[in-house]
Structure 1
């Protein structure tokens, strides 16, 4: 159903044709019909829509599949058992999906720069938008070197000597590759993510099929496993405490580990400003996410939980290579010897892809913050091809933190800083849920029927409430382990809860300095800078050959 946008008021928007007057002689590139000047800062939104629908589909499909799932999932099975880990992934998947349908509805309505950070600033409160924006940017900038470090360690699986000089060289090559993809432009980024996502999907499908075959006795040993390990040692592991309490604690602890596998999935909204025909592309991506989460996360964890008992000591080993993957352990137990190198190579591409994706996301977030006046104006400068060049240069500097791992003391600091920001994702998800409730009420108050939009979820506002409830619960109780007898650690307590006061200080500081007005729902800006369907519509060219037809059928 076509979107029926209200008529724009002349004082609320500024078409691209008027941009020259607003920005003077600044070199911002060619004017496009689908970009406008921000009415609050008079800055020209210079990014251009060069990403194809298939790029958006693959980013949504496999953009967050990475080391957290392929390597870190072993700890979930060890802590919670096969059923405990499965339930944790089911719950986290439901939270992630509920968040995605909330941010997706806003992104389809307003496919503009800034993504969910701008929606928070626009429809919730500028102070909260400022706080979330800078916290997320800080988090992503710290995660950038972590992905480079992870990729370099994965290479050590083949380089058994792995001296410091080799690691430094690997990191330099990885940094140049990840940064180069982004500096070549959004089209190159989209194509690279399409290829990397395809590799990750092939890996997941192969692991699922191979795991089922081995479980049914099709491996070299012809041992039919079935649900043997659900009975002995059991479906649930006891964590920190015997009995039902220990089983619950194992499940609850796994929520944080499982959430790490979904981290960054909300970033599809950031790409809305640079994809062709964004309302159609985003709608298709969101509508398919339920089955993609079910198959690529939940089914994968279910299969590996059948193959490895939770008391296998190898699950808690953390080498950083494929040797610590529960999938490799499962196939090795079944007598399959050739898979570790294949899995390691595929996971290596995942780590590299994650570094490239983080650089893309955080550069666009900084660009969006600058466009709204929350960051220095220089960060909003783009090249003639729509590349936010200054933001990209600033973000690329954080890759240099990767070399801190060459020093043991500095590496500890880097890991501490990364862990410090691990829960920012739940703060972001919860805030997106609250923002959606305001967005929904704003539409209703201003007479805009959600059912006329390209995408709307019939179950709202319950998904938004679900996200808010679980995000708040996990943020409050994530540090429960430090309060147990014999586990008190001041540094662990700070890591678990420092995000709460930092977020509060950012919100309160901005409010004290700027004193933004908290708008009533009938006063919310539902119109300015939001393109009409005609401005962003794009007719996909007919496929040139059979291969393109297959790709379009599968991924658009």
Structure 2
């Protein structure tokens, strides 16, 4: 593809909007912004101060294993218990198809416009500023609450080895974990990229190891020599009955797992957030998006398939929530097969996953807050960067939320923290659906302004059907996720609020911004498809030649 250049001069609705490369007086007056970066953000008069220091291999590994965490490794047992082996497998297949369809939507937009703000900026730019404001703050709120949850999870994982686990011990572990995750981010995006590259290797090795070991045990290769095969698909059966007998119970078990599976995919869309800080973003993002299909197929669907072979859904251990490797269905299966060493290995690998998830959340939410501030949706001070492009104020603000992890040391406060975290469980589907709607307007905007999608670095030939798929299922799941509270004997006011409060909150945020700011909803032919979008020449980067054989292997696999 040739360099992106406007086919006609950009039209600006606000006097403050400046074309790329323009100088601004307030930047000179404000020492908080780096002056060596000439990019000026659309809809503001502030420099976009972040810099492209992340390598392509960092992006590839973050895309491959960035969101693999405790939800998949430890939470998969609950999906088997609720839906049975086939019910849980179908739930992961459907959720994986929704996630991938969303990714091709956000990927096409991010490759076209690799700038700060990620999908939040795309929503406010190509859908509506009010919706962008609402999605941005809901996602930031969600991530800030999940941040201490990952530290808590990691500290509990350590208790697997600490037999004298006490409150002071847990407090010390949480301080050390929070300090380590924060330090990685404050050292800069390159350090973050290197750490995620390392942790991703561990997670990938864990997944591959679990799949291979699981298949070996299933075929009778364990110390016990018991060949399981598809035994548990026949007895107790392929589908679990959830609350109701017969086909209705089997369907509800499958449907309930759609939320559980979505938790394992949570944050997968955040690869678009890193677009503003990766070298050669159009090439790196294109490769990352194309490889995500295989990641979803192997790391999620194949893993849950193997889990379903190893343990019957009637096993009471699947619903235990110890927070350590003892909750993993793989550990349950391996212990039954007589393998004693693997639980500690799995716990150590899952511990690195929890730590990595905390670091990744901190990176993502700090960049989202930075993007919101850059566009006037958050206090301007959050857009300050160091000379090296680090959004120092946003990072410092996000770090404060680690203090919420200490709420778990108090029983009542821990309940409040868990309730707030559950309150945001459906924000992911709201975000995915909104991204798909935004993509439809983006696609129409390109066509209206004479830009051929087929000339872009990345485009999906199946569109707009993937976008329609995301919108349909997101709507179904958001509307009916609370079905359980309406069944006889299961009404619970707090469960009802958790299931549906996100809808009115999202609506209030949209309405509130519209009442205060009164942004004009642009027609398709008015959408800004040009300003602040860098040309290929501005973001291209030639990888240096490999220095040794090891670097050659890494480049071959991850660039």
Say if 1:16 and 1:31, in contact at 8 Å, map to a contact too.
no
Which residue number corresponds to residue 398 of structure 1? 401
Partners of 1:184 and 1:103 lie apart in 2 by 28
Distance 1:32 1:530 in 2: 18
Q: 1:322 aligns with which of 325, 329, 335?
A: 325
The Cα of 1:68 is off from its aligned counterpart by 0.3
Aligned pairs for 1:407-556 within 5 A: 407-556=410-559
CA contact (8 A) 2:207 2:303 kept: yes
Contact 1:28 1:46 in 2 (8 A): no
- Residues 326-335 or 509-518, more deviating: 326-335
Q: d(CA) in 2 for partners of 1:229 and 1:98?
A: 32
Equivalent residue number for residue 209 of structure 1:
212
1:60-99 equivalence runs, <5 A:
60-99=63-102
Tell me the secondary structure at the aligned position of residue 553 of structure 1: helix
Q: 1:555 deviation in Å?
A: 1.2
TM-score computed with the length of structure 1 as normaliser: 0.98
Give the CA deviation at 1:9: 3.4
- The 1-side partners of 2:41 and 2:288 are apart by 27
Residue in 1 that maps onto 2:30: 26
Give the direction of change, closer, same or farther, for the CA distance of 1:394–1:159 in structure 2 (3 Å limit): same
Which residue of 127, 130, 135 maps to 2:133?
Answer: 130
Shift of 1:39: 4.0
TM-aligned CA deviation for residue 327 of structure 1:
1.1
Aligned to 1:285, the other structure's residue is in SS state helix
How far 1:255 moved relative to its partner? 0.4
Q: Aligned partners of 2:34 and 2:483: how far apart in 1?
A: 54
The offset of 1:319, in angstroms, is 0.2
Given that 1:99 and 1:432 are in contact with CA atoms closer than 8 Å, whether structure 2 keeps it comes out as yes
Aligned mates of 2:205, 2:90 — CA distance in 1: 25
Q: Deviations over 1:97-128 (max 9, x none)?
A: 00000000000000000000000000000000
- Structure 2 gaps, min length 5: none
Matched, 1:225 2:228: yes
Q: Say whether the 8 Å CA contact 2:27–2:35 is kept in structure 1.
A: no
Shift of 1:24: 2.0
1:8 is displaced (CA, Å) by: 6.9
Count residues with an aligned counterpart. 555
CA distance in structure 2 between the aligned counterparts of 1:519 and 1:188, rounded to whole angstroms: 40
**Does the CA contact (< 8 Å) of 2:60 and 2:287 recur in 1?**
yes
Summarize the Cα distance change of 1:338–1:8 in structure 2 as closer, same or farther, 3 Å threshold: farther
Moved more, 329-338 or 51-60: 329-338
Give unmatched runs, 5+ long, in structure 1: none
**TM-superposition CA deviations, 1:306-329 (whole Å, max 9, x none):** 111111111000000000101111
| CA distance, structure 1, for counterparts of residue 122 and residue 221 of structure 2 | 51
**Matches of 1:478 and 1:17 in 2, distance apart?**
48
> Counterparts in 2 of 1:219-368, with a 5 A limit?
219-368=222-371
